[in-house]
Amino acid sequence: MAGRSTAHAGPSPKYEQRRLEVLRAAARTFNRLGFHIATLDDVAQDLGITKPALYYYAESKDELLFACGQLAIEALEGALRESAELELNPVERLCRFFTLYAEIICGDFGRCLALTEPRDLAPKSRKASMAGRRSLNLAVRQLIRDGVDAGLIRPLDERALSIAMFDTFNGLARWFNRRGASPLTAIVDQHLAVFLDGVTPRQ
Structure confidence by residue, pLDDT tens digits, 59-76: 999 999 999 999 999 999
> How many CB atoms within 10 Å of residue 168?
15
The helix or strand, by DSSP H or E, that contains position 130, with its residue range, turns out to be: helix 123-149
Percent of the chain scoring above 70 in pLDDT: 95
Which domains does the chain carry?
68-199 (1.10.357.10)
Beta carbons of 125 and 75 less than 8 angstroms apart: no
Length of the chain as a residue count: 203
CA atoms within 13 A of residue 22's CA, in its CB half-sphere: 25
What distance lies between CA 52 and its chain's CA centroid?
29
What mean pLDDT comes out for the span 171-197?
94
Residue 4 has pLDDT above 90, yes or no: no
What mean pLDDT comes out for the span 96-114?
97
CA pair distance 190, 187, nearest whole angstrom = 5
pTM of the model: 0.89
Whole-number pLDDT of residue 86: 81
Mean pLDDT of the chain: 92
